[in-house]
């Protein structure tokens, strides 16, 4: 009986120790989240560090003691002129200014006169020309057709007025492109743009700007839908999603989370595309709708919403590494150094192979990356970290994604990480931090359409403002071009070539 009691007490002590370790780990994790470095490139902090400034103080004291011991005076050393990294593009307008001599200099001594022999270039500067709003008043010329023989009554002929991009609005395509650029590229919310437009001479309200965004998105919606049709024909895609907030949705509270989904081509694709989709939910049905009729390979994280897709998936190694990095920030042991070194070695090799062809990259992955991958899985299999600890969770995530991770060795077209789609999503997140929410589902859908157009332009090395100015105007002038057979010319990669 006594032995049973001792065993039970021993097991209880072990359980309590594990619980204490887990709680200490969680506490350390929260401390790092508040006070520690967030970048994954930073090295894990020393948990035994007593002072944040101890090393700096020691270095300063050492430098002071060396300075006091020096008795000689150092000679002044002239700094070398550094090359300026300021550059002006060829498209910048050139204004020439010639500086003449002053009136005092013109007063020459008797018997002398000034003869100009030319000018000398001295320096190049840049100046800012403030933007302005110009008023356009359209007139149409009217003609009277008179029959020469006088047998027919006169007829009247009038020039055709160009269609407005937005009916009954003063906004032209250039105004709309500027508002879209400021909101989705510079992350300036609409209410912050009002003062700039007022200074430029255009008084508008935030509601008007919001309606302009929705109307512009509806005008570009056929191109947006055509992009999705082209996207699902690709063989390799990347996907991600992030929360967003919409205030006025039927049957939902203003505080309920909605989601912005993104799907994009891999970086090796000859026709880069970035497609955003808004939906109130993050369920499996949304992923099935987004990737309907897609039969290729999708790279994404371990979110369960993708499990219902009847397609082949590959993992993102950045997500795998991130779990181990978070564990390393709060770990009191050296266990996390082994997987991080292996993962860093894999990423270093992948960085060297970025410009290789898919075939060459797949060959190198199988020959050089495969041994590192085997060592990584061997370490995960022997790790005895607590299941609820950060390290235990990292190992569990990695092993759960193992079938998808191993498929990276199979395809050279797929990147080693899903960072490309995350960078596209970050563009939306940076804007979301400023405009905070969408008022209506129509506004959220407009965000998805306009973000898709802008990010796709950037992926094809096209200036989004130039593209939007021309395409919005053409879509307004030629409504027949909104038909399916004409939309191909407005896809970014085709528009760039034309």
Here the tokens at position 232 are 């699902």
Residue 298's closest CA among 225, 404, 369?
Answer: 404
Residue 427's closest CA among 213, 184, 227?
Answer: 184
Calculate the CA 457 to chain-centre distance: 12
What is the mean pLDDT of the segment spanning 170-185? 95
pLDDT above 70 (res 57): no
Reduced to 3 states, what is the DSSP secondary structure of residue 143? Answer: strand
pLDDT above 70 (res 347): yes
Reduced to 3 states, what is the DSSP secondary structure of residue 260? Answer: strand
pLDDT above 70 (res 316): yes
- pLDDT of res. 60: 52
- pLDDT tier at 495, thresholds 50, 70, 90: confident
User: What are the tens digits of pLDDT across the range 71-106?
Assistant: 454 555 556 666 667 888 888 889 899 988 888 877
DSSP for 465-488, written as a single string: HHHHHHHHHHHHH-GGGGSHHHHG
Contact (CB, 8 A) for 274 and 450: no
- pLDDT tier at 53, thresholds 50, 70, 90: very low
Q: Where are the alpha helices (DSSP H) in 142-295?
A: 173-184, 190-200, 206-231, 284-290
- pLDDT tier at 173, thresholds 50, 70, 90: very high
pLDDT above 90 (res 231): yes
pLDDT above 50 (res 438): yes
User: Residues 6 or more apart from 136 whose CB is under 8 A from it?
Assistant: 172
Q: Where are the alpha helices (DSSP H) in 273-389?
A: 284-290, 317-330, 337-352, 358-364, 370-382
Measured between alpha carbons, how far is 47 from 237 in angstroms, rounded to an integer?
Answer: 41
- pLDDT of res. 6: 57
* 429 vs 484: which has the higher pLDDT: 429
What is the mean pLDDT of the segment spanning 411-423? 90
Calculate the CA 259 to chain-centre distance: 17
Measured between alpha carbons, how far is 63 from 67 in angstroms, rounded to an integer?
Answer: 6
Mean pLDDT of the chain: 84
* 493 vs 107: which has the higher pLDDT: 493
- pLDDT of res. 85: 75
pLDDT above 50 (res 51): no
Paired with 263 in beta bridges are: 239, 275
Measured between alpha carbons, how far is 368 from 236 in angstroms, rounded to an integer?
Answer: 23
Other CB atoms closer than 10 Å to residue 477's CB: what's the count? Answer: 13
Measured between alpha carbons, how far is 411 from 235 in angstroms, rounded to an integer?
Answer: 11
User: What are the tens digits of pLDDT across the range 463-484?
Assistant: 999 999 999 999 998 888 788 7
């Amino acid at each position: 009986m006594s032995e049973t009691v001792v065993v039970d007490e021993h097991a209880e002590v072990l359980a309590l120790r594990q619980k204490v370790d887990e709680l200490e780990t969680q506490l350390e994790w929260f401390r790092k989240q508040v006070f520690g470095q967030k970048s994954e490139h930073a090295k894990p902090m020393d948990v035994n560090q007593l002072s944040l400034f101890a090393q700096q103080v020691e270095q300063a004291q050492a430098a002071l003691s060396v300075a006091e011991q020096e008795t000689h005076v150092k000679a002044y050393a002239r700094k070398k002129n550094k090359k300026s990294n300021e550059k002006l593009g060829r498209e910048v307008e050139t204004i020439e200014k010639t500086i003449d001599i002053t009136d005092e200099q013109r007063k020459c001594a008797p018997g002398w006169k000034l003869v100009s022999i030319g000018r000398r270039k001295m320096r190049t500067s840049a100046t800012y020309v403030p933007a302005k709003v110009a008023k356009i008043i359209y007139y149409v010329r009217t003609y009277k057709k008179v029959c020469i023989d006088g047998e027919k009554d006169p007829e009247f002929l009038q020039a055709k007025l160009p269609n407005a991009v937005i009916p009954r609005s003063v906004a032209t395509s250039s105004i709309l492109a500027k508002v879209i650029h400021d909101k989705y590229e510079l992350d300036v919310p609409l209410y912050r743009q009002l003062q700039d437009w007022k200074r430029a001479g255009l008084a508008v309200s935030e509601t008007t700007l919001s309606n302009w965004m929705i109307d512009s998105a509806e005008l570009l919606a056929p191109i947006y839908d055509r992009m999705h049709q082209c996207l699902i024909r690709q063989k390799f895609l990347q996907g991600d999603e992030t929360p967003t907030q919409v205030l006025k949705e039927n049957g939902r509270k203003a505080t309920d989370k909605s989601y912005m989904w993104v799907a994009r081509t891999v970086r090796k694709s000859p026709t880069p595309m970035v497609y955003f989709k808004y939906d109130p939910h993050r369920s499996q049905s949304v992923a099935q709708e987004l990737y309907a009729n897609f039969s290729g390979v999708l790279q994404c994280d371990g979110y369960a919403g993708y499990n219902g897709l009847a397609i082949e998936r590959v993992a993102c190694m950045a997500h795998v590494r991130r779990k181990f990095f978070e564990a390393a920030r709060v770990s009191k042991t050296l266990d996390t150094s082994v997987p991080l070194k292996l993962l860093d070695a894999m990423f270093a090799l992948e960085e060297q192979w970025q410009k290789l062809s898919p075939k060459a990259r797949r060959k190198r992955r199988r020959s050089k990356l495969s041994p590192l991958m085997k060592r990584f899985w061997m370490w995960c299999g022997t790790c005895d970290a607590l299941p609820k600890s950060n390290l235990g969770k990292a190992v569990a995530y990695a092993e759960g994604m193992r079938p998808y991770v191993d498929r990276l060795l199979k395809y050279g077209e797929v990147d080693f990480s899903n960072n490309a789609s995350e960078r596209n999503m970050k563009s939306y997140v940076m804007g979301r931090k400023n405009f905070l929410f969408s008022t209506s589902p129509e506004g959220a859908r407009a965000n998805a359409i306009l973000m898709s157009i802008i990010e796709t332009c950037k992926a094809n090395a096209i200036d989004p403002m130039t593209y939007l100015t021309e395409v919005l105007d053409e879509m307004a002038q030629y409504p027949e071009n909104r038909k399916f057979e004409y939309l191909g010319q407005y896809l970014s990669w085709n528009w760039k070539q034309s």
